[in-house]
Amino acid sequence: MKKNILILITTLICSCSVIEEKSLSEKNLEMAQSFLDNIIANPEKAQNLLHKDFTFAWMGIIEQGGKIWNRENLFNDYFKNIIPEILPNGIVLKTVDAISDEKGVAIIQEGDAVGKNGEYDNKYVWVFKMKDGLIHSIREYNSDILVATQLYDYKLITEEE
């Protein structure tokens, strides 16, 4: 009887001490999603997830494309001035897929918005690289044509024009 109680107590102690810790891959995914969830609603929280040497770039080939933003001017200029100008009613982003590992994360999202020139429902891929437990860089990919026509004042023309 004492032996059975000892086995039971040992089993309980061992099972209680085995706490599943999230993998680095899962932590990275949660951090990246938290950044996207908070960039507009809670910018201070989003900014606190960024490495001191952080960089961001939208990888388009028009207007702001390829420009490198840092930890400060991303929030003080890009999200405060540029985005509200081209998306005056904001945007709703829905995550539809993601993949992550110890070094980074890729999140696929679908957007729902009205740009300054009309309907703007773009699709996005955000590529996050991590360093020292923080977001070190983000690269944003989406449709240049949709950005050009619906957010900026580009017009599509045929070859005949």
Q: Which pLDDT does position 64 carry in this prediction? A: 80
Question: Is residue 111 within 8 Å of 96, Cβ to Cβ?
Answer: no
3-state secondary structure 23-46: CHHHHHHHHHHHHHHHCCCCHHHH
Question: Of the candidates 112, 115, 108, 109, which has an alpha carbon nearest to the alpha carbon of residue 92?
Answer: 112
For the segment 23-35, the average pLDDT, to the nearest whole number, is 97
Domain ranges (residues) in the chain: 22-151
Query: Considering the domain 22-151, what is its CATH architecture?
Result: Roll (3.10)
Q: What angle do CA 146, 136, 86 make, to 5 degrees?
A: 25
Assign residue 90 a region (left: φ > 0; alpha: ψ between -120 and 50; beta: otherwise). Answer: left
Q: Which DSSP state fits 21?
A: P
For the segment 31-44, the average pLDDT, to the nearest whole number, is 95
Q: Which pLDDT does position 7 carry in this prediction? A: 55
Is pLDDT of 154 > 80?
yes
**Per-residue pLDDT tens over the stretch 99-147:** 999 999 999 999 999 988 999 999 999 999 999 999 999 999 999 999 9
**Phi and psi angles of residue 59, each rounded to the nearest 5 degrees, phi first:** -90, 25
Question: Is residue 50 within 8 Å of 135, Cβ to Cβ?
Answer: yes
**Per-residue pLDDT tens over the stretch 61-94:** 887 888 999 999 999 999 999 999 999 999 999 9
